[in-house]
Amino acid sequence: MQLNAEDEDNGNRKFICVQLPEPTDEKSEAYKAGYKTIFDITKARIEKSAVKIRQDFKETTADLGF
């Protein structure tokens, strides 16, 4: 898995900006998949990224949660 922004800054990020809980369009695939807000999508992406980071960097002590 590669984060979208990785190509732009080679993974040199200090923080992640989280989206406000704006509702998703009820006709969207995201809504149908259970993501009722943009934040729900953001949270899932952060959680999946944290899992991948822990797999790739088993010795990390970074705070990857909320």
Cβ count within 10 A of residue 32:
10
Q: Quick one: pLDDT at residue 48?
A: 94
Q: Give the pLDDT band (50/70/90) at residue 64.
A: confident
User: What pTM, to 2 d.p., does this model score?
Assistant: 0.67
Q: What is the pLDDT of residues 20-62, one digit of tens each?
A: 889 999 999 999 999 999 999 989 998 999 999 999 999 999 8
Q: Give the pLDDT band (50/70/90) at residue 1.
A: very low
Question: How far apart, in whole angstroms, are the C-alpha atoms of residue 65 and residue 47?
Answer: 7
Where along the chain do its domains lie?
19-56
Question: How far apart, in whole angstroms, are the C-alpha atoms of residue 60 and residue 54?
Answer: 7
